[in-house]
Amino acid sequence: MKIILDTCILVKEGHFLSASMRKFLKAANFLKISVYLPEVVCDELLANAKCEIDRQSKIFNEANKKLIELTGEEISETDGVARIDLKKAFSEYKRQLKNTLKQHNVKILNYPNTSQKEIIEASYTGKMPFKSPEKGYKDYLIWQTMRELIEKNPSQKFVFLTENVKDFCEKKHDPLILHADLLSQLDDISDVEIRVFTNLSLFFDEELAPQLRGADPGNIPDDVLKKMEDIAENLLMFYPAEGFEGVPLNDVHITSADNIRLGEPTAKAFGSDEILVTFPGTVDAGIEGYISKGDYRSYEDDRFYEDGHTSKHKSNPKIFISDPDWNDHVMAASVSSELQFEIELIIDKEEREIVSEEISFPTEISYFH
């Protein structure tokens, strides 16, 4: 199997820094599965990282300025927050990225052997990945990079991890497949297997996790087990999401986590040095977010029978409005709901300590759900 990563996946996964990315790279390396990063994606990732560092620095400086106005005191290095050297921060990110790619044997695919003339001609064909002669340049370079790799390894199975399905995939096809415009460009290859995934965790669960051998849950250190509720609460509190299924709010975050119930853990081996431990759980969560005024009226009308006293859908949570005029269109609101979650820990067996931790929700909604 050969896996090719697109920019949108990497940006979503914290520019290679998320726990999901760590477990994916660790598993792929352990299973001897090749992971590739097109050079055009690497360059785009670096540009995005620089922009994000600049953006977050501006947010910090604006917040610091506001604090000075409100309190007359400036945040200083003695308060635990130092001024950021943007050039140094970006250099550190580049160094960290280079080390991550090297550590996990991620291979860089050079820019494709495609002339500017070929790109211009392709942009006027009206075929994917060009949406118009002006849009699709980088996507075309990514595709041509993939194409060269596929044509050199026609008997291999390929996986393309991308959220940009509108430019690479057939519409309304489940499971996702590459667009016929792209497949038609593969020279003399008709039966190559190319799967598309839009979610790194889903790919890990479906393709990689079943190939990892089980590990003894007895290798979980006792001190980790004793503090699991604290770990769960820390991961739950202020967790942001586009929304949760069954919760009628958008742009939500968790503001309280009560009655945390953890199930029995399962463990998978990452070679001889680390294990991946999964704890299932449920929580009674307080959730804040927003709801459109029209949706709120419809939701409230649907909650009751005509007499207005008996709940029509007992599972529907009651919405509490905190600001009925947040803006012209939406209201700030909160609900209480029981949520299922999973916590994944990577534990160093020798050091008996947590290397990374992450929480996920099976009912979480995203733009790419």
Q: Which of the pair, 290 or 128, is modelled with greater confidence?
A: 290
The stretch 32-39 carries a mean pLDDT of: 95
Considering only CA atoms, which of 86, 90, 82 is closest in space to residue 15? 90
Q: With contact defined as beta carbons under 8 Å apart, do 358 and 343 qualify? A: yes
The pLDDT of residue 82 is above 70: no
Mean per-residue pLDDT over the chain, rounded: 86
The pLDDT of residue 75 is above 70: no
Q: With contact defined as beta carbons under 8 Å apart, do 284 and 236 qualify? A: no
Residue spans of beta strands (DSSP E) within 204-327:
240-241, 243-244, 250-262, 266-270, 274-292, 320-323
Q: With contact defined as beta carbons under 8 Å apart, do 329 and 285 qualify? A: no
- Residue 295 confidence class, pLDDT cut points 50, 70, 90: confident
Tell me the pLDDT tens digit for each residue of 190-216.
Answer: 678 899 999 898 899 999 999 998 888
Predicted TM-score of the model (pTM):
0.75
Q: Which of the pair, 357 or 189, is modelled with greater confidence?
A: 357
H-run or E-run covering 68: helix 39-71
Question: What are the counts of helices (DSSP H) followed by strands (DSSP E) for the chain?
Answer: 12, 14
In terms of average pLDDT, the best of 101-110, 269-278, 345-354 is 101-110
Q: With contact defined as beta carbons under 8 Å apart, do 344 and 277 qualify? A: yes
Considering only CA atoms, which of 346, 30, 16 is closest in space to residue 211? 30
CB atoms within 10 A of CB 186: 16
- Residue 309 confidence class, pLDDT cut points 50, 70, 90: low
Q: With contact defined as beta carbons under 8 Å apart, do 347 and 222 qualify? A: no
- Residue 367 confidence class, pLDDT cut points 50, 70, 90: low
pLDDT value of position 349? 84
Considering only CA atoms, which of 116, 141, 69, 357 is closest in space to residue 232? 357
Query: By three-state DSSP, how is residue 112 classified?
Result: coil
In terms of average pLDDT, the best of 112-116, 283-287, 352-356 is 283-287
Q: With contact defined as beta carbons under 8 Å apart, do 281 and 340 qualify? A: yes
pLDDT value of position 190? 65
Q: Which residues lie below 8 Å from residue 209, measured CB to CB, with a gap of 6+?
A: 27, 268
Tell me the pLDDT tens digit for each residue of 224-269.
Answer: 999 999 999 999 999 999 899 889 999 999 999 999 999 999 999 8
